[in-house]
């Protein structure tokens, strides 16, 4: 949870970031509430699971009102989505050392290392919610899935330009193979996401 809090500290919101979100309280007060709410959501998810996670519970734990929470997020899934997105941005750098295999391995290893409970619980809950609620599914895709794909796609496009991508693959299909395996293990087999998997993917996706 320290990660989410740190993320909020390191990236103070600019007015333009929240242009579509009315902010009625002062900036400082809003940011404190926001951080407290993200932290509360993650803690409650870890303690009791998604089935028991409620907007009321998050607000109570954060010491804020339900109205404050609903001012910023449509519901519990969107709170978790913001917490997970901050966690991913914080823990998964996009290396560019010129060594394509080392960069890809580092990115994948950092991605897998960031996928520990309660982040994994949040990811499973969010993917499920996205299937049940298509409007949330679009926000999930735009906020987390697509930016993650774009990050890996940038790295793989450099490898492709250098002729280092495996034959028959494009940066887009290689990205899908990597995130497909990540999600399949998260959702279906619960097999470990570890350095060994990062090595296997690096060897499969590059020449």
What is the contact surface with a copy of itself in residues (CB under 8 A)? 50-51, 124-125, 127-132, 141, 145, 166-169, 173, 176-177, 179-185, 187-189, 191, 200, 203-204
CB 83 within 8 A of CB 42: yes
Q: In whole angstroms, how close is the CB of 136 to a copy of itself at the nearest point?
A: 12
Q: Which residues contact 107 (CB under 8 A, 6 or more apart)?
A: 92, 93, 94, 95, 151, 152, 155
| Residue 140, SS3 per DSSP | helix
Which CB sits closer to a copy of itself, 44 or 62? Answer: 44
Q: In whole angstroms, how close is the CB of 197 to a copy of itself at the nearest point?
A: 8
Three-state SS string across 82-130, please? HHHHHHHHHHCCCCCCCCHHHHHHHHHHHHHHCCCCCHHHHHHHHHHHH
Q: Which residues contact 1 (CB under 8 A, 6 or more apart)?
A: 39, 42, 43
Q: In whole angstroms, how close is the CB of 185 to a copy of itself at the nearest point?
A: 7
Q: In whole angstroms, how close is the CB of 70 to a copy of itself at the nearest point?
A: 22
């Amino acid at each position: 949870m320290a990660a989410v809090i740190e993320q909020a500290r390191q990236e103070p919101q600019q007015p333009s970031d929240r242009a579509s979100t009315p902010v009625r309280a002062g900036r400082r007060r809003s940011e404190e509430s926001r951080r407290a709410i993200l932290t509360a959501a993650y803690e409650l998810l870890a303690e009791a699971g998604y089935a028991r996670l409620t907007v009321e519970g998050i607000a109570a734990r954060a010491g804020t009102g339900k109205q404050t929470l609903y001012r910023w997020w449509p519901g519990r899934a969107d709170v978790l989505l913001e917490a997970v997105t901050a966690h991913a941005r914080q823990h998964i750098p996009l290396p560019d050392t010129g060594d394509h295999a080392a960069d890809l391995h580092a990115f994948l290893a950092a991605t897998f290392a960031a996928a520990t409970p309660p982040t994994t619980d949040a990811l499973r809950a969010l993917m499920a919610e996205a299937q049940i609620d298509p409007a949330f599914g679009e926000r999930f895709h735009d906020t987390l899935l697509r930016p993650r794909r774009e990050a890996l796609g940038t790295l793989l496009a450099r490898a492709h330009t250098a002729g280092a991508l495996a034959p028959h693959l494009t940066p887009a299909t290689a990205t899908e193979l990597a995130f497909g395996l990540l999600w399949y293990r998260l959702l279906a087999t619960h097999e470990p996401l570890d350095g060994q998997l990062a090595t296997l993917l690096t060897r499969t996706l590059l020449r």
